[in-house]
Amino acid sequence: MLRHGWKRFALTVATLAVALGALSSGFSFAASPGITCGSTVQKGPLPDWAQAGFHPPTARVPHVLGRSGAIVAILFAYPLEAPPPSNHNDKILWVSRLPYTWRATLRISAQRMNGTQPLGAPVQTNIKGGPGPSLINLTTPGCWRLSLRWAGHTDSLDLQYQPRR
């Protein structure tokens, strides 16, 4: 009897170790697909390389860092709403960590997602001049995966659009 208790204890410890290892590696558990978006809105200071023009530089600004760290989406409307409210737009300032010329175009492909499954058709938009101010007004609430390309660079991030209040 005691021997079986130790086996159960060892199995519990092993299961807990695997779960803690997954959490520390950035893997997240969700109750069901589509509940959360893969990118987290941070509400603290911007990365050092994206602070130009913000005073004080340590200002707390809602933003989402791209998966590869090459771009940041600074959210001037938060939370983002779909469809956009009549009194403001979902304005996003894109700041590239990587160099580019003013002739670049930021190409954005937005795909609504449910976990790993795409929903509907992607939405495309281009921002002439490269990363900078943009209006990313989407009509359907949910998790949107944005694939970004500019001046030979790429990055991606997820943005959660809430139902309009």
24 in the same domain as 56: no
Establish if 66 belongs to a structural domain: yes
Establish if 155 belongs to a structural domain: yes
Count of domains for the chain? 2
Give the contacts of 83 (CB within 8 A, at least 6 positions apart).
137, 138, 139, 140, 164
104 in the same domain as 74: yes
The tokens describing 22, both together, are 């997954």
Establish if 41 belongs to a structural domain: no
81 in the same domain as 14: no
100 in the same domain as 69: yes
59 in the same domain as 23: no
Establish if 43 belongs to a structural domain: no
Establish if 7 belongs to a structural domain: yes
Cα–Cα distances (Å) from 90 to 15, 77, 93, 98, 136, in that order, read 43, 5, 10, 24, 6
Tell me which residue range forms the domain holding 2.
Answer: 1-30
Establish if 37 belongs to a structural domain: no
Cα–Cα distances (Å) from 37 to 50, 51, 80, in that order, read 23, 25, 13
129 in the same domain as 88: yes
CATH code where residue 93 lies: 2.60.40.10
Burial class of residue 144 (count of CB atoms within 10 Å of its CB; 0-12, 13-18, 19+): buried
Establish if 121 belongs to a structural domain: yes
Per-residue pLDDT of the chain (165 residues; tens, 9 = 90+): 444 443 333 333 233 332 333 323 232 323 334 446 888 999 999 999 999 999 998 899 999 999 999 999 999 999 999 999 889 899 999 999 998 887 899 999 999 999 899 999 999 999 999 999 999 999 999 999 999 999 999 999 999 999 988
Q: Measure the CA–CA gap between 135 and 148, rounded to whole angstroms.
A: 15
69 in the same domain as 134: yes
Q: pTM of this prediction? A: 0.76
